Amino acid sequence: MPSVLIIDDEANVRRMVGALLTAEGFEVRDAGDGASGVRRAEESEPDLVLLDLMIPGALDGMAVLERLRKRFPDLPVIMMSGRAGLADAVKATRLGAVNFLEKPLTPEGVLLAMSSALELRLARRERTALRADLGLAGELVGESPAMRYLRAMIARVAVTDSRVLITGESGTGKELVAVGIHDGSPRRERPLVRVNCAAIPRDLVESEMFGHERGAFTGATDRRIGRFELAHTGTLLLDEVGDLGLEAQAKLLRAIEAKEIERVGGGKPIRIDVRVIAATNRDLTRAVREGAFREDLFFRLNVLPVAVAPLRERPGDVPLLVRHFAELQRRRSGQLPPSWSDAAVETMTRYRWPGNVRELANIVERLSILHAGRDIGADDVAAVVPASGGSAVAPALPGLDTTDMTLSTALDDYERLLITRALSAARGVVAQAARRLKTDRPNLYRRMKRLGIIAS
């Protein structure tokens, strides 16, 4: 359960707010002055702090806020006061307070402010997770011309507030590029919120993006703050934006153009100040031609295009990445690191890496565990990666005989086999099969019609 620390010199406030939050399922602690409040936070970091502005003593509310923000940068703090003016509220906000409540407090006001603050904490934790994506801990490793150009592009686009479209194959580190752009921008101290567009069920896209009011639909037992609101004044990363359906694309376009959203079940527009960064492994230009992606949304997102090169186009970075991931694995596991021979690294360099950096990280981790404290040779690498002259070989597909076939017929049969297997695994649900094949549903329907495939 979430933990809340109440710092207020009024015992009645601590008692009443504490009783309210305990009844709502929160773990509540309190302190009657600033110094003891800071100590209690340091003993065990809470998920949220309710802090009175006018605390008597050596540490007033502003001083406590400064200390908490310095000690716990991602800890949301809600300020409370019955005598504060606008200047105090502005100063508290600049120091990092996420909300400002006027006394006398109301149960609805307290719970709503806390719900938004806890959603913000979740978003900040996701930002931290993004930094550690692929184990890179926020680093883009490599000194190839492609990587030097990518770093230069990140530095160039970061200082603007324009929308960015990051393209590249799966596993190249597009999320890390987005983190780099956010961290180099004037919004670096504000939230970086990620939406995995490919993972949102179609019926929940609007709720996930824009939030909903209590009772807006069956199961909406509480108000939910959407990702756009969580990213207010910060950056919103639309990951795998090419997987959004056309209806969701239209709603996204309206939000970007109007700079406002409306919660599901709510009748009041909410102004938003968000920088949008989109990322995709799909060819959106082709998707626009095929009618699977809105042209107007593509133009809105593609203001500053940033392409991430696949690993096979920068083989000179492989040795650096091998050393980097091996060191990360040593720190995580505490095992004796293996010794990588020149032949082993050369074998890794010749491989074409269809899974890009993510695949390389997994293989380095596997070899580091299997050969901890021992030498890794070329044969050890060849045992876990294809070794046909350094090229990735497509796995053999049982049931597909290409003997004496024309190229066109062989390709059709291969495509038919892939689609029928995806449909079988998805139990005939075309939308799920499309996600497995990393395409959109309209495109899959067109291919099925051409090949004479009927979903069962």
pLDDT digits (tens, 9 = 90+) for 342-401: 999 999 998 989 889 999 999 999 999 999 999 999 999 988 886 443 444 334 444 445
Task: Round to whole Å and give the CA distance between 361 and 376.
Answer: 16
245 closest CA partner among 41, 443, 440? 440
Task: Round to whole Å and give the CA distance between 223 and 245.
Answer: 25
Contact 205, 164 (CB under 8 A): no
pLDDT at 135: 44
pLDDT range class, residue 417, cuts 50, 70, 90: confident
pLDDT at 275: 96
pLDDT at 132: 54
The DSSP output letter for 9 is: S
Q: Collect all residues with Cβ–Cβ distance below 8 Å to 15 and sequence separation of at least 6.
A: none
The DSSP output letter for 324 is: H
- Computed over every residue of the chain, the mean pLDDT equals 86
pLDDT at 455: 67
pLDDT at 395: 43
Considering only 145-154, 202-211, 291-300, 389-398, which range has the smallest mean pLDDT?
A: 389-398
Mean pLDDT score, 36-47: 92
pLDDT at 217: 78
349 closest CA partner among 388, 303, 317, 377? 317
The DSSP output letter for 317 is: G
Beta strands 48-52; 164-167: pairing state? unpaired
pLDDT at 130: 59
